[in-house]
Chains A and B, each alone.
Chain A
Amino acid sequence: MLFRRPPHPIEAEIPRLRRFALALARDRETADDLVQDCVTRALAAWATRHGDDAALRPWLFTILHNRWRTRQQREWARPDRVSLEDAGEGPEISGGQWEALELRDLDTALAKLSEEQRAVLLLVGVEGLSYEETARVQGVPIGTVMSRLARARDRLRSLMDGEPPQTSESGGRTHLRRVK
């Protein structure tokens, strides 16, 4: 006999939803607000959802992305607000261990990408969604996902490397405060 409820399948996805939301919003409070919104809607729609477990994550990501879109449209309608994208200058680097600097540098570079570029890097490269699933989440054709990936990777590469290729071994770490 069972005395405790097994965790809801959506509950297990929360860490990944928060991560995706943070990649979009770049702000913890906004991101968590977004996840709360997404989960509430997903639970309300749960009964009518028809899909297997493998499709759960893309489904949730799509809801979250749609909620984000809606929010963005609302934000844009308010001229007094600075968009997070424009305000999103990464934190100052205060020195410390190389590893920390490196992570910070990646963080700073990511902040300079567009939200869609960050999202596509996360969805495909980290979450392992298929191109097709990613296209559905972002509401664009697969071809757009592919070119968006290429642009995001090139941009991140140039942000991390300073000037274009310049594959100078460990010396590459000296240009941490690259502008642009």
Chain B
Amino acid sequence: MTGKPAAITEPDLVAYVDDRLPSERRADVEAHLALNAEDAARVAAWQQQADDLRVHFDRDLNEPVPAEMAALFAQRPSMPGPLLRMAAVLALVLLGAGAGWYGRGVFAPVEIVAALPQEATRAHLVYSREVLHPVEVTAKEEQHLVAWLSKRLGTALKVPSLSGQGFGLVGGRLLPASSGNHAAAQFMYENRQGQRLTLYVRSGEGGGDTSFRFTGEGNAVAFYWVEDGFGYALTGETGREALLPAARAVYEQLTR
């Protein structure tokens, strides 16, 4: 309690009520309120009011969402049912591998699986550097994109969200897979720095399921796994530590 605090202003009182003052300034305000009955009454009224408003407005949160709003999120069955209803999910994210990464011998222990991160990386390297046509169908037509790729891969595809990691969906494309007549899908994501991830999903994985695996060197890394005959991979130039949260988000959304 030595020295006089800087004059308390109205914004100080506002921020005090909202509990957004640094503790030092907070103490100054409290000292001021102890000596100034008018401001103290004002602040007390504001605080009571804030509590009342929270109670008042929180009632609104319990109202059911109207059907027409929920409908904005419903997946429209834009293609005949059976394929969609077969319902498997397919997804893989491949993060931008460095130009020098492709070709290095950093692949998985199981041979069938081995080509998965390799193919995903190859596709990533080709398309993530594309400026004009990174995808065939943009995220603006997400319903169409998902329906189309679902049909071609023979499974109900779901595009995981990476918004929590700062990546928005750019769109996707159809690709050939290495074995037989199988197809692969690639979904591309981009963050505000222009960094791109691709999620690669491939049908026709012959081997059994695998766990969540990691491969890569330096910055160029990929997480991948196989489930129910589909291979998924997430790759990036972020290094393992930075990629892991995104990969985990994808994995959890697809296997939950």
Contact = CB atoms under 8 A, between A and B. Distances in A.
Interface string A125-147: 11000110000000000010011
B80 interface: no
Contacts, number: 146
A46 interface: yes
A98 interface: no
Main secondary structure of the interface of B (DSSP, over half): helix
Interface string B105-119: 000000000000000
Given A3-B87, A16-B61, A19-B57, A47 B138 contact: yes
A31 B4 CA distance: 49
Interface in B72-127: 72-73, 75, 87-89
A103 interface: yes
Interface of B: 10-11, 13-15, 17-18, 20, 38, 41-42, 44-46, 49-50, 52-54, 56-58, 60-63, 65-66, 68-70, 72-73, 75, 87-89, 138-140, 142, 156, 158, 161, 163-171, 190-192, 227-228, 253-256
Interface residues of A, number: 58
A11 B73 CA distance: 7
Chief secondary structure at chain A's binding surface: helix
A122 B60 CA distance: 12
14 contacts: A7-B73, A14-B65, A18-B63, A32-B66, A46-B142, A49-B163, A50-B166, A50-B191, A56-B163, A121-B53, A126-B53, A150-B14, A153-B46, A156-B49
